[in-house]
Amino acid sequence: MRNYWMGMLLAALLAGCGDGGKAPDVSHLQAEVKLVRFDTAFFNLDTTRLEAGLNALQQRYPHFLADYLYKIIGIGDPSAPQTGDAIRSFLSSYQPVYKAAEEVVQAHGANWQLQMAQTLRYLQHYFPQWKPEKPFELLTFIGPMDAYEPFAIGDYGDVRTAKGVGVALQLHLGAAEPLYEDGRQAGIFYDYQTRRFTPDMVVVNAAKNILQDLFPYRDESLSLVETMVEKGKRLYALKKVMPDTPDSLLLGYTGQQLKGCLANEALIWNFFVKNDLLFSKEPAINRNYLMDGPKTQELGEGAPGYIGLFTGWRLVTAFMQKHAELSLTQLMQVPPRQLFEQAGYKP
């Protein structure tokens, strides 16, 4: 296929380019955020009195400990004979991760709380039927380095909890963290992933988790363009509840990649149209544009992976420019094929 990616970027396009709407005043809305250091409690367990320590943790974290042991670090029944050895092994091997994470939390924890509180205010403004937990907990934990998975608009290891969001600190140590080199060498993750393993992504992923909770994403054998629309809806909502966050962070692109996408927006769309891809329901084809990766091969070296997320966002933005009267909840209810047809998207 032709390489549609142009080498020259338009310098006037900014990585923070959004939909142009002014953020509402949300200062009157209440939001209380508490930073909960589960990681500290877990890594300070007395390994000579493990059963007593786990019982105490269960009292302090009754809504999280079982999920952490079973679903996150993959340890079974706490009473099983081998469980103690497994926990001791994890605590020992992940001590360097915990030490690095402690520095990150000390440097960024207060800002996470402030940014999360503001995001909760925007969420309450746009979704008045939703009320955050009081207090909303940012619960920090450390899981396996490969404990991340794909969600509607990105791959991450942070999770929704009963009282807020769990922050997988091992995936927020900073892109230059030396500990990630072992993972890259082992093929657990790659440069395009570790550049997003930063403290800046903590609240972004928290907001994604809440939106996923509000509007669960289900792949119902939609066409490529319908899937892009569904993902674009969620990214559009994410931008609304985090209006001061650069679009590049929300998309997971570098600033340069986003500039390239904006400069070549018409060419990207033309690629989908000319190759009759919009209504494709072939998973093997669609995943090329709907999955994370270092690049979109068909569009050339400069095109980021997950290009369908960008196109879906721009398509939904075009639709909302014509239907500004719709609330975000109403936007989410518009059938994706209808939205595509009514958007009149012509970049």
- List, in sequence order, every residue forming a beta bridge with 139; answer none if it has no partner: 36, 166
CA 234 to CA 22: how far, in whole Å? 19
Query: SS3 for 326?
Result: coil
Identify the DSSP state of 330: H
**pLDDT at 207 (0 to 100):** 98
- pTM of this prediction? 0.92
What is the tens place of the pLDDT at every residue in 282-341? 999 999 999 999 999 888 888 999 999 999 999 999 999 999 999 999 999 999 999 999
Which stretches of the chain drop beneath a pLDDT of 50?
A: 1-18
**pLDDT at 147 (0 to 100):** 87
What is the tens place of the pLDDT at every residue in 20-38? 568 999 999 999 999 999 9
**pLDDT at 155 (0 to 100):** 87
Decide if 323 contacts 284 (C-beta within 8 A): no
Q: Where are the domains of the chain?
A: 33-214, 224-343
**pLDDT at 301 (0 to 100):** 81
Tell me the pairing of strands 136-141 and 33-37: parallel
CA 200 to CA 44: how far, in whole Å? 27
Strands (E) in 48-156, as ranges, are 136-141, 149-151, 154-156
CA distances (Å), origin 259, targets 216, 229, 296: 30, 21, 15
Residue 49 CB contacts under 8 Å (≥ 6 apart), including other chains: none
Decide if 142 contacts 68 (C-beta within 8 A): no
For residue 313, which amino acid is it?
W
Q: How many CA atoms lie within 13 A of 242 on its CB side?
A: 28
